[in-house]
Amino acid sequence: MPVILAIESSCDETSASVCADGNILSNIIANQTIHEAYGGVVPELASRVHQQNIVPAVQQALLNAKVNKNDIDAVAFTRGPGLLGSLLVGVSFAKAFALAKNIPLIEVNHMQAHVLAHFIGDHQPAFPFLCLTVSGGHTQIVLVNDYFDMEIVGQTLDDAAGEAMDKTSKILGLPYPGGPLIDKHARSGNPDAYKFPEPQIPGFDFSFSGLKTSILYFIRDNVAANPNFIEENINDICASVEKRIATILLNKLRKAAEQYGITDVALAGGVSANTGLRQGLQQLGEKLGWRTFIPKMEYCTDNAAMIAIAGYHKYLKGEFIGQEIAPLARMPF
């Protein structure tokens, strides 16, 4: 019954989790609010705050799990992809802990871990399944053949879906990160109030940069005619943008599911917290007879529990790595 300590520090969340035999016992997430003032994550500041938060986060994760340091059998950590300075904090901590306790190290790919978050709890997809992984940096349709046998069948050619949310919110004058605020305003808006274009990209790939430009021009023209346009219509604008982003994502997901003959379909990553996207997938699933898998809120955005579950499955396969390991800003599957 392996007890695994997991560390996540790829972007602006410092997170630590303990899992025993695949059951998550704790999942501590220290958010960094310092970036709000800058309208986006400042890498240099993120690394410094990780440095401050990492030990308290691990101590709290051990405490909540009622596990002693000496009971840990292996340390799993995010090797990449992510911000190099941020990753270095987690990787160095994991190496030092493993060295001190003479226990194995397990490297985890952050994007694979978002997918593997579906193996926390009882409602688990069956292989092969499709996972739409949508975050601030990535937008991928992943064909998941096995725990660590994943293939990206579609991805964004420019901006990620989360970036489209965050850039739209910036255009609207909302603070960073804007995704959750777009979601909040959208709940009181009419999603059919405004029509934004759907890009015509072949295959299962995505593009969001044209949408961003059309939103920018739409706002600029309307504000020129009425300076109060944004504040008078913020809910309808957010609902319409959210609906367009969700339909772009779900239309491609549907095409991929048809092409690969898949009926188990999952969502992952920070944007999977979005209410419109969650409801959209559920409705599509009911219509097409899919089994749908939508992560609990705490496993949508960055967290170490997903690193722990990925680490657990690597532990079972005996996949460990040495102390010479270094983080990777870009890390293919």
- Please work out the total of residues on this chain that contact Zn ion, with binding judged by CB under 5 A: 2
d(CA 59, CA 25): 13
What minimum distance in Å lies between the beta carbon of 131 and ligand KG4? Answer: 13
Binding mask 3-42 for ligand KG4 (x = CB under 6 A): --------x-------------------------------
Among 183, 205, 236, 264, binds ligand KG4 (CB under 6 A): 183
Is residue 78 close enough to count as binding Zn ion by CB under 5 A? no
Is residue 81 close enough to count as binding ligand KG4 by CB under 6 A? no
Residue among 67 and 113 whose Cβ is closer to ligand KG4: 113
Binding mask 126-165 for ligand KG4 (x = CB under 6 A): ---------xxx------------------------x--x
User: Contacts with ligand KG4 in 265-284 (CB under 6 A)?
Assistant: 269-271, 273-274
What minimum distance in Å lies between the beta carbon of 135 and Zn ion? Answer: 4
Is residue 294 close enough to count as binding ligand KG4 by CB under 6 A? no
d(CA 305, CA 303): 6
Phi, psi of 247 (to 5 degrees): -70, -35
280 is in an annotated binding site: no
d(CA 319, CA 241): 43
Centre a 10 Å sphere on the Cβ of residue 325 and count the other Cβ atoms it contains.
14
Residue among 113 and 284 whose Cβ is closer to ligand KG4: 113
Crossing angle for the helix pair 161-171 and 179-186, nearest 10 degrees?
A: 70
d(CA 134, CA 310): 18
Residue among 143 and 306 whose Cβ is closer to ligand KG4: 306
Burial label, 44 (beta-carbon count in 10 A; 0-12, 13-18, 19+): exposed
Is residue 331 close enough to count as binding ligand KG4 by CB under 6 A? no
Is residue 83 close enough to count as binding ligand KG4 by CB under 6 A? no
Q: Are 256 and 141 in contact (CB under 8 A)?
A: yes
134 is in an annotated binding site: yes
Three-class secondary structure assignment of 222-254: HHHHCCCHHHHHHHHHHHHHHHHHHHHHHHHHH
d(CA 109, CA 284): 29
- Please work out the total of residues on this chain that contact ligand KG4, with binding judged by CB under 6 A: 20
Is residue 163 close enough to count as binding Zn ion by CB under 5 A? no
What minimum distance in Å lies between the beta carbon of 178 and ligand KG4? Answer: 6
- One-letter identity of residue 37: A
Q: What residues form the annotated binding site for Fe cation?
A: 110, 114, 302
